[in-house]
Amino acid sequence: MALLDFLKRKDQQRPAEKESLSDTRDTQREKKGKSLGGAQGKQQEKKEILTKEKKGSATSYSALLSPHVTEKASILASKNVYVFRVAPGATKLEIMRAVRELYSVPVEKVNIVRIPSKKIRVGRRQGVKRGFKKAMVTVSQGHQIDMITS
């Protein structure tokens, strides 16, 4: 079948491309020193993710939605713990990276809480108050985030 000959040509070229791709990946790993396997390799990759600094990347702005300003949050702020509303799919690493990039402060740890949706009622009408996800970010001693200016 002459109609499917173009597929055969691609298949014949692919093994050579795969070999060259694997060679370049191996050399890149050797350059970066990622030849460690298991848990050590994962820890090293995690450190590299945390040390990369890109000012104002798209993930920074999508992970943090807004500061969560309440009385309890202001009390926690005096203890170097700041509360933010975050995207539902944001992970601790993404939140940590976003706070570091946007506010230029070192982050010690991140705790995440999911607030469930709640039923509300006003007179005869019923509704639902949306749930959200919030993150409590602990900043290292001697650093602070100015919530008013940011």
pLDDT tens digit sequence for 9-18: 555 555 555 5
Tokens of 86: 């975050």
Query: Model pTM?
Result: 0.58
Q: Give yes or no for residue 52 having a pLDDT over 70.
A: no
According to CATH, the topology of domain 55-150 is Alpha-Beta Plaits (3.30.70)
What does the pLDDT look like over 82-99, one tens digit per residue?
999 999 999 999 999 999
The angle that helices 38-51 and 92-103 make with each other, rounded to 10 degrees, is: 30
